[in-house]
Structure 1
């Protein structure tokens, strides 16, 4: 699978959970300590197909399709990572999971972060990949592209992996322009979660590509909010960030292929499987 192939050939093998006013689709793979896995915008849990076997060798992976994405139909509310975090918290309760790790990429990384901020008692460890904590960190040319996202662009996206995936699995394939409208509205809103990140208590891994949507310095700043990058770690790691936080900038990757990378799977597992 390449960055232009977002989908698996297999049919959906998951279940639906009626939680928080939404019929949320999820698939469960593997066994072990549970991990909630959250995909990027315009994608679905299937985006992780290349690395899912590796993750599921070590953990019970619950891959969720977020509001309006994949096999989860949209509902009458904005696409807001804070609201989607409420869905995930309700799913954790619905499944009876005890402090699962939460791993998210891009949009899913933002949702994962909000689950940790709003429901810290429900999260074991947090991995947030290619997710920015302030809008002004994003490169200006990307912001210019984002403000152009709307339903009017649907016709021009028919050859993209995002469109193909949506047409194949969405409960209402004709809703793709509506999804683009909602994503465009969400992308246009300013945000800054600096103070909320500073208060995170669970061990958190900040991951990004070395050529991501924001410069590597942004992710280093996020790490700094978590007591990282302030001093030498010591011979025994005794002076590493308090709270067990970590940073990984992955080489040779971009925002658009990091979720496929064995490197992403490797650093995620190395972090999640550390002794607490």
Structure 2
């Protein structure tokens, strides 16, 4: 078990495989182990650094909110701690929001970025999903005891009794309005925007994010001369949802195709 004391948090991480480094960030109420189904594909030519973010998996919570910007600073500090030279950063859902912010706040530390199922505005989420998110709090802990998320937390967390506290913090984080439109518009890191075709936000939102990155605004041209100037790309993956994209071979294939292109 490997920990790094960085940015005021004792961050758990695992390293798998060899090759160009890839930092992999999980979704809310999950941990790095949720990527087990696609990890063999990712580690075939990459050194994958699996991180358990604040309050998740084997990383204990600390006295601060769950804020993707603060957690992005944790990841940037881990990159420095490990002496990594501009690793690629791949994140899903909560991890996608963190990945976006690593690239926004620390572009000099990132090679390429893959952000999956990560909406950049709270208002992009379907209204019924926003209503469900509004019910996430410590009061829901008893109802979640039969879920895989609860089982994994009890098995991995340094303080299993913190589960209600984690639900409270996640609920508070999801209730905060946010809009990273301008920050994404200024991204300097080649970025792949990924979503399921039945995600938590409509495909049109992820097309909008691609538009902010100079994508989808013109014909790409026979030689690709009309593609986005920053090397950005978009993948809407068929037959998937927000809840199974992270384990799909399609996600691994799209990620590797983008990360390994022209390298």
Q: 2:180 aligns with which of 190, 193, 207?
A: 193
Q: Extract unaligned runs of 5+ from structure 1.
A: 1-13
Q: Which residue of 2 aligns with 1:57?
A: 44
Q: Which residue of 2 aligns with 1:74?
A: 61
Q: How far apart, CA to CA, are the structure 2 residues paired with 1:46 and 1:164?
A: 13
Per the alignment, in what secondary structure is the counterpart of residue 141 of structure 2? helix
Deviations 1:26-78 (A, max 9, x none): 00000111000000000000000000010001100000000000000000000
Alpha-carbon distance, 1:90 to partner: 0.3
Q: Which residue of 1 aligns with 2:136?
A: 149
Question: What TM-score do the two structures reach when normalised by structure 2?
Answer: 0.99
Q: Extract unaligned runs of 5+ from structure 2.
A: none
Q: Does 1:158 align with 2:150?
A: no
Q: How far apart, CA to CA, are the structure 2 residues paired with 1:228 and 1:181?
A: 37
Deviations 1:190-218 (A, max 9, x none): 00000000000111000000000000000
Q: How far apart, CA to CA, are the structure 2 residues paired with 1:68 and 1:58?
A: 30
Question: What TM-score do the two structures reach when normalised by structure 1?
Answer: 0.95
Q: Which residue of 2 aligns with 1:94?
A: 81
Deviations 1:3-46 (A, max 9, x none): xxxxxxxxxxx410000110000000001110000000000000
Per the alignment, in what secondary structure is the counterpart of residue 231 of structure 2? coil
Q: Which residue of 2 aligns with 1:36?
A: 23
The size of the alignment, in residue pairs, is 263
Per the alignment, in what secondary structure is the counterpart of residue 102 of structure 2? helix
Per the alignment, in what secondary structure is the counterpart of residue 205 of structure 1? strand
| Moved segments of 4+, more than 6 Å | none
Q: Does 1:178 align with 2:188?
A: no
Alignment RMSD (CA, Å): 0.6
Deviations 1:237-261 (A, max 9, x none): 1111101100000000000000000
Q: How far apart, CA to CA, are the structure 2 residues paired with 1:274 and 1:203?
A: 11
